[in-house]
């Protein structure tokens, strides 16, 4: 069932592609055509606009990916980075959050690598206010199954994002806690 807190990961695979209301991210905040689920896109555009007004440049680098696009992503990563890197950082088809339209990879308009950017620090303090959480934080690799990705944010809605951030959780921990 589609929801803003749906869990898609190595243990929770999508068997088929989802029917999602996809809309394009504002060209002002992306370098190419990036699509997200409508509410997620609206939240990202608002967050990027507020950040921009304060001198931060958030750029959408990746959003929704179909199963076929994920296959291409894997192939390109293997060719460019090798299999070991790809296994650590690129999700297999059906287990990528990008299939939900709720995941977005963000880069800085000013600095590379992202982890040393002012934008990354701004997101750490503010993303939850717009309904986003850092999906694969450092120190939670054993829970998420993925290495630290400072650029990968997930839309979960403001209330859940605030709870996850305040309690230093990841989505898996939130879902486990809420099911009890």
149 is an active site residue = yes
Instruction: Give me 81's structure tokens.
Output: 């980075």
Please pick, among 149, 172, 176, 179, the residue that the annotation labels catalytic: 149
Helix locations, the chain, DSSP H:
38-53, 67-81, 83-89, 118-126, 141-144, 158-166, 171-179
Round to whole Å and give the CA distance between 173 and 163.
11
Sign of CA dihedral 178, 146, 60, 36: negative
The 10 Å CB-count burial string (b at 16+, else e) for 120-131 is bebbeebbbebb
- 96 preceded by a cis bond (ω within 30 of 0): no
How far, rounded to the nearest angstrom, does the alpha carbon of residue 176 sit from its chain's CA centroid?
20
Catalytic machinery residues? 149
């Amino acid at each position: 069932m589609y929801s803003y807190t749906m869990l898609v990961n190595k243990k929770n695979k999508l068997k088929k592609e989802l029917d999602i209301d996809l809309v394009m991210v504002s060209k002002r905040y992306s370098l190419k055509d990036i699509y997200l689920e409508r509410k997620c896109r609206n939240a990202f555009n608002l967050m990027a606009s507020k950040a921009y007004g304060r001198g931060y440049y958030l750029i959408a680098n990746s959003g929704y990916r179909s199963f076929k696009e994920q296959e291409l992503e894997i192939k390109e990563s293997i060719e460019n980075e090798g299999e070991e890197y790809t296994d650590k950082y690129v999700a297999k088809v059906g287990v990528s959050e990008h299939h939900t339209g709720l995941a977005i990879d963000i880069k800085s308009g000013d600095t590379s690598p992202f982890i040393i950017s002012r934008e990354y620090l701004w997101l750490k303090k503010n993303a939850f206010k717009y309904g986003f959480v850092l999906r694969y934080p450092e120190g939670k690799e054993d829970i998420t199954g993925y290495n630290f990705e400072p650029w990968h944010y997930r839309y979960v809605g403001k209330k859940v994002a605030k709870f996850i951030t305040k309690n230093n959780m990841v989505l898996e921990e939130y879902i486990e806690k809420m099911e009890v």
